[in-house]
Chain A
Amino acid sequence: MKPNELLRLVWINITQNKFKTVLTSIGIIVGAATIVMVIAIGKGGQADVAEQFKNLNAGAIDISYDGGDRERGGQSAEASPGGGNFSGGEGGFSGGRGRSPDEAGGGVLNGDSFPGGRMDFFGGGSDMEERINQENITLDEDDVDDIETFVSGISAATISYSTRSSVEGGELDEAQTYTIAGVREEYAQMSNLSLAVGEFIAESEDENKDKVCVLGASVAEEIFGSAIDAYGSVIYIDSRSYVVNGVLSSMGTVASGISPDDSIFIPYATGVKYLVGSSVSPTITVIAEDVDNVEQVSKDVAKVLAQTYPNAEFTYEDAGSKMEAASASNEILTMLLIAMAAIVFVVGGIGIMNVLFVSVKERTNEIGILKAIGCSRKNILFEFLLEAAAISLIGGILGVAASLCAAPVVEYLGVRVELSAAAFLIALLFAVITGTIFGFYPAYKASRLVPVEALGAE
């Protein structure tokens, strides 16, 4: 039989009973929609990760110390959670605590809920003084100089910290708590920050401990309404006035923490003087020239720091591993979703198989007639197989259409969805493959019917 004549017959059969065709393909509709959504959500997740890390310098290494300084945590209750949170992907502010593996949860919990209690808790531990990291160590600018001098393969190095403090001024009715980041001039370039208006912190301002600040885009909008209005105005951080010297462009969300959009930047030394004092728990950020060299640079930095602090162990976090971790968790999610889609397809396929079995039974007489007039087994097999494939294709198309409707809903629920033509194609392909595979057995059964028995069936 000519393929297009066979297709014509298949077409007649599937259009004859549209309702049945759609019912048959419901499993496939759901399966195809699921596949599209799975890919869309997976892609959305990837895009999220990519976006979070877009400002991230892949060669960045954060060096922080979380040992003896915990004693001081209580003195400045606000300092710690902000630091922890801020240690996002932008490679800037790894606040000391809340980041070491053993303290990851504890730091935040202590800082938020028991600001006072923590001092008693850890402060009493003086009997552990000899242990490593029990000293009061504060990384400072000299350490940065040492690293820049003695470690090769570094393109930039800086020191920064973050804290949280109450802020007043502008259109704010009452004091608000914001993340305050103490940074140096080179920080902007290292974190790929760009300014919407004004200038970033200058070295002279740091040296002079000037009370100036640069606002994140969201902060500027919250306090002043717009970047232009903010520029040149005055805000009050911890009741001291700071002149707004610049406002950042909106940077979007960044990985696992507060974005620059929601932060206020002040000169490093200014913050040490007026805000954090000796409780500062800074992070040194070093950028390796060669991304593949991150490990070696970390080791070299450790050697240099060991000269100054023989008994201390620092925490090293490199951006690459953070990115890997984020992608890995995203991949696990994708795998789970793919497994789900596979299950849906198998169920949909079994559904198709069921309906086709019923259909073969219903059409036994027709098969008998076809056999009586000399239709070959091959042609009967093909007809039923093509029908299954066509029904699945229709199901696939309807499924893709359904996913187009579902996408805004899922997006509304807060999951990022990235629809793509590739996903539609894959869904259609899977639909047809599933339908054909599960349609094979009923079609095969139909083709093997004994003519006289098939014809006798009513």
Chain B
Amino acid sequence: METVEREERDGIITLRDVNKSYKMGENVLHVLKDISLTVKKGEYLAVLGPSGSGKSTLMNIIGCMDVMDSGAYCLDGVEIEKAKEKELTGIRNQKIGFIFQKYHLIGTYNVLQNIVMPLLMRGMTLKEAREASMDTITMLGLAERMEHKPNELSGGQQQRVAIARALVGQPAILLADEPTGALDQESGKEVLKLFDRLNDMGNTIVMITHDLGVARHAGRVVRIVDGKLYENGVTVQPDAAG
């Protein structure tokens, strides 16, 4: 028990016995089964698992986008299961940077507006937010594209916009759900290189993938199979990626 407690203190993310199920009419689909996971500050974690294993469900819980049925979750010192919607909104805004497989940019707004959105939510003016984001935008090579609408960009560029949006708020963790899933190999590689760099800069990253090759970039890999989480090496089933 002592080790667990120390782990919890070190961990920026601490999940304990998290369960999540969906009711599908009569039957109950138990998606996450007693998941316990600790992610340390500065860690780069890949969550590997086959399709339908519950990866996205886990990530949504980590990202405070969904509620768990039971268990405890502590994010950067906040007990999430006790938090109200209003606090969760603040946490999503300040502690979490989301990167989605489908980029999820807002089509009506241009690149700059998409990127600075989390800062606007914090009460910054567009001008302040723009200044605060300039470094990130330059780093991601988007300085020339700021006035473009998302549909005028390639997939790789769109994903970089999404990454910039996740980064500008300097969140405690970056959550990426299959960030390379919709990209061609070349763009995917670039994104992964970027993640390596971000991790070197001290960012905590939790990346979800079903691709072992992608997972290898991470410093630590866990697997989800059928709703159960396994630390790497405790492989029960062969890797389902393909």
| Interface status of A12 (Cβ within 8 A of chain B) | yes
B126 and A8 within 8 A (CB): yes
Choose, from A207-215, A243-251, A272-280, A362-370, the stretch at the interface: A362-370
Contact with A along B107-139 (1 / 0, CB 8 A): 111000100011011011110000000000000
Indicate whether A373 sits within 8 Å of B125 (C-beta atoms), given known contacts A2-B120, A12-B108, A452-B65: no
B98 and A375 within 8 A (CB): no
CB distance from B165 to the nearest CB of A (A): 7
A372 and B125 within 8 A (CB): no
| Interface status of B21 (Cβ within 8 A of chain A) | no
Provide the bound-state CA to CA distance between A362 and B220, in Å. 39
Q: What number of B residues sit within 8 Å (CB to CB) of A?
A: 32
Tell me which residues across on chain A come within 8 A of B153, comparing CB atoms.
none
B121 and A379 within 8 A (CB): yes
Contact with B along A431-452 (1 / 0, CB 8 A): 0000000000000000000111
| Interface status of B6 (Cβ within 8 A of chain A) | no
Indicate whether A372 sits within 8 Å of B106 (C-beta atoms), given known contacts A1-B120, A2-B125, A452-B65: no
Q: Which of A12, A377, A455 has the most CB of B within 10 A?
A: A455
Tell me which residues across on chain A come within 8 A of B117, comparing CB atoms.
370, 373, 375
A372 and B98 within 8 A (CB): yes
Closest B-chain residue to A451, C-beta based? Answer: B65
CB distance from A444 to the nearest CB of B (A): 14
A373 and B65 within 8 A (CB): no
Indicate whether A372 sits within 8 Å of B66 (C-beta atoms), given known contacts A2-B123, A365-B104, A452-B60: no
| Interface status of A374 (Cβ within 8 A of chain B) | yes
Indicate whether A374 sits within 8 Å of B108 (C-beta atoms), given known contacts A1-B121, A2-B123, A2-B124: no
Tell me which residues across on chain B come within 8 A of A369, comparing CB atoms.
104-106
Indicate whether A373 sits within 8 Å of B113 (C-beta atoms), given known contacts A13-B108, A452-B60: no
B85 and A374 within 8 A (CB): no
| Interface status of B23 (Cβ within 8 A of chain A) | no
Provide the bound-state CA to CA distance between A16 and B91, in Å. 31
| Interface status of B151 (Cβ within 8 A of chain A) | no
| Interface status of A155 (Cβ within 8 A of chain B) | no
B104 and A1 within 8 A (CB): no
Tell me which residues across on chain B come within 8 A of A366, comparing CB atoms.
106-108
| Interface status of A371 (Cβ within 8 A of chain B) | yes
Q: Interface extent on A, as a size class?
A: 20 to 34
A373 and B109 within 8 A (CB): no
Closest B-chain residue to A450, C-beta based? Answer: B66
Indicate whether A374 sits within 8 Å of B118 (C-beta atoms), given known contacts A5-B126, A8-B126, A12-B109: yes
| Interface status of B89 (Cβ within 8 A of chain A) | yes
| Interface status of A176 (Cβ within 8 A of chain B) | no
Tell me which residues across on chain B come within 8 A of A12, comparing CB atoms.
108-109, 113
Closest B-chain residue to A15, C-beta based? Answer: B108
Indicate whether A371 sits within 8 Å of B65 (C-beta atoms), given known contacts A12-B108, A377-B89: yes
Tell me the total A-B contact number using a CB cutoff of 8 A.
Answer: 76
A5 and B125 within 8 A (CB): yes
Tell me which residues across on chain A come within 8 A of B228, comparing CB atoms.
none
| Interface status of B63 (Cβ within 8 A of chain A) | yes
Which residues of A, 234-264, contact B by the 8 Å Cβ criterion? none
| Interface status of B93 (Cβ within 8 A of chain A) | yes
| Interface status of A9 (Cβ within 8 A of chain B) | yes
Indicate whether A455 sits within 8 Å of B108 (C-beta atoms), given known contacts A5-B125, A373-B93, A374-B118: no
A374 and B120 within 8 A (CB): no
| Interface status of A376 (Cβ within 8 A of chain B) | yes
Contact with A along B4-23 (1 / 0, CB 8 A): 00000000000000000000
A371 and B108 within 8 A (CB): no
A452 and B165 within 8 A (CB): no
Which residues of B, 153-188, contact A by the 8 Å Cβ criterion? 165, 169
Indicate whether A374 sits within 8 Å of B93 (C-beta atoms), given known contacts A1-B120, A9-B109: yes
Closest B-chain residue to A453, C-beta based? Answer: B66
Tell me which residues across on chain B come within 8 A of A372, comparing CB atoms.
63, 65, 92, 98, 104
Contact with A along B85-100 (1 / 0, CB 8 A): 1100111111010101
CB distance from A326 to the nearest CB of B (A): 56
Provide the bound-state CA to CA distance between A76 and B65, in Å. 95
B98 and A373 within 8 A (CB): yes
B-to-A contact residues, CB < 8 Å = 60, 63, 65-66, 85-86, 89-94, 96, 98, 100, 104-109, 113, 117-118, 120-121, 123-126, 165, 169
Could you show 5 A-B contacts with beta carbons less than 8 Å apart? Answer: A372-B63, A373-B98, A374-B89, A374-B91, A375-B121
Give 8 A-B pairs besides A12-B108, A374-B91, A376-B86 with Cβ atoms closer than 8 angstroms: A1-B120, A369-B105, A370-B117, A373-B118, A374-B94, A374-B121, A375-B117, A379-B121
- Give the top 10 A-B pairs by smallest Cβ distance, nearest first: A374-B93, A374-B92, A452-B66, A452-B65, A451-B65, A373-B118, A376-B89, A452-B60, A369-B104, A5-B120
A-to-B contact residues, CB < 8 Å = 1-2, 4-5, 8-9, 12-13, 16, 365-366, 368-377, 379, 450-452, 455
